[in-house]
Amino acid sequence: MEMRIMKSGQAGGTVVLDAAEMALVNRQAKRELAAEEVYAFAVKLCDNEIDRDGERFPTGSLEELAGLFVGKSGVFDHDWSAKAQCARIYKTELVTGEEKNSLGEAYVYLKGYAYMLRSGKHEELIGEIEGGIKREVSVSCAAARKLCSVCGSDVERCVHQVGKWYDGKLCYGELVRMKDAYEWSFVAVPAQVQAGVLKGKKKEENLVELKAFVEKQPGLQDEFEVLCKEAALGRRYVADLRAEVVRLGGLAVPELGAETMKAMVNRAEAGELMAMKAAYGKQVERRLPVQVQLPGAQEARGAQGKDSVFVI
């Protein structure tokens, strides 16, 4: 399932339109454009820093986005109507800065080169870009998975909490396997001061939108409430199932260690967890068989045998 992601960046910095640049611009145009018809500028789209929501694009994901964003439109406030289109990206590149990000890695960001026509309706926008008024941008894209930095499993299934530290390691979500790039937008207020860190809608916000939709459909309200309760019970069941598998796995295969066992369990689906529970349960029975302590079962044993079932 794809996740729609929004991250912020910055626009600014004019580009000299030489023959090589115009050749790339004209790949996007329907007719051959002359340099004097075009205004081009650089856009800092997103980077490999952790954002305020505890997520980031690793460098590999930025490389995937570099190809996906070529040809994508620039709009305003993520308005997907044709009238909101104002610019288009004609090339991208990854830039490695001299500084480090918060993880101690080389700071890397995705840079886009955009163009717009020097027509009457764009003159005001060009002036605002040049004057530093229109600066912040936000990208909209899709990631297939969000992985926990601690155990490598999907954050949604993980026992770790984003923003907390575990044995000296910060938990955050790695956005990987980029599926698509939708657009980039000029926005007024990004979620973070530095570039590349505007987060899109959270699950809670999506749930509010879903509730608002259901409220307009009277026939769906009862069913929606039932589904919400069943979903909550399902999440609780899976959480309890994970905990039980970790317990049984620790008894059945203590050599693996608690952290390894948790990492294995966090990656498993519900069906896999049930199979693991059954398998580990059988191993535990073989390793630690239950002995009957009823008097009749001990009559054939000596005094030492009678007490042996109580020995720990």
Instruction: Write out pLDDT tens, residues 282-293.
Output: 888 887 776 656
The pLDDT-based confidence of 295 (bands split at 50, 70, 90) is low
Q: Treating both helix axes as pointing N-terminal to C-terminal, what angle do 221-252 and 203-215 enclose, rounded to 10 degrees?
A: 150
- Considering the domain boundaries, does residue 295 fall inside one? no
Specify whether 116 is located in the same domain as 157. Answer: yes
Specify whether 98 is located in the same domain as 226. Answer: no
Specify whether 165 is located in the same domain as 252. Answer: no
So what's the pLDDT on residue 214?
A: 67
So what's the pLDDT on residue 14?
A: 62
Specify whether 164 is located in the same domain as 241. Answer: no
Specify whether 129 is located in the same domain as 36. Answer: yes
Average pLDDT over residues 27-50: 92
Taking the C-alpha atoms of residue 216 and residue 74, their distance in angstroms, rounded to an integer, is 33
The pLDDT-based confidence of 230 (bands split at 50, 70, 90) is confident
Specify whether 64 is located in the same domain as 187. Answer: yes
Specify whether 7 is located in the same domain as 102. Answer: yes
Amino acid 146 reads K
- Considering the domain boundaries, does residue 166 fall inside one? yes
Task: Classify strands 136-148 and 165-166 as parallel, antiparallel or unpaired.
Answer: unpaired
Answer with the one of 158, 174, 200 that is the final residue of a domain.
200
Asked if residue 310 has pLDDT above 60, the reply is no
Identity of the highest mean pLDDT range in 16-30, 255-269, 294-308? 16-30
Specify whether 238 is located in the same domain as 148. Answer: no
CB-based contacts of 305, cutoff 8 Å, min separation 6: 298
- Considering the domain boundaries, does residue 89 fall inside one? yes
| pLDDT tens figures, 178-206 | 999 988 888 765 443 343 222 334 454 45
User: Beta strands of the chain (E only): which ranges?
Assistant: 3-14, 38-47, 55-56, 73-76, 87-100, 106-117, 136-148, 165-166, 169-170, 173-186
Q: What phi and psi, each to the nearest 5 degrees, are found at residue 244? A: -70, -40
So what's the pLDDT on residue 13?
A: 58
- Considering the domain boundaries, does residue 305 fall inside one? no
So what's the pLDDT on residue 23?
A: 96
Q: What phi and psi, each to the nearest 5 degrees, are found at residue 235? A: -65, -40
Range of the domain at 263: 212-287
- Considering the domain boundaries, does residue 138 fall inside one? yes
- Considering the domain boundaries, does residue 297 fall inside one? no
Which pair of tokens denotes residue 257?
Answer: 């260690």
The pLDDT-based confidence of 222 (bands split at 50, 70, 90) is confident
Average pLDDT over residues 59-81: 88
Specify whether 158 is located in the same domain as 277. Answer: no
- Considering the domain boundaries, does residue 293 fall inside one? no
Answer with the one of 200, 232, 247 that is the final residue of a domain.
200
Number of domains in the chain: 2
| pLDDT tens figures, 134-161 | 778 888 888 999 999 999 999 888 889 9
Specify whether 191 is located in the same domain as 221. Answer: no
The structure's pTM equals 0.58
Q: What phi and psi, each to the nearest 5 degrees, are found at residue 175? A: -85, 115
Taking the C-alpha atoms of residue 66 and residue 28, their distance in angstroms, rounded to an integer, is 16
Average pLDDT over residues 4-31: 78
Specify whether 122 is located in the same domain as 96. Answer: yes
So what's the pLDDT on residue 301?
A: 52
Asked which of 225-234, 254-263, 295-304 is least confident by mean pLDDT, the reply is: 295-304
Average pLDDT over residues 40-63: 91
So what's the pLDDT on residue 194?
A: 44
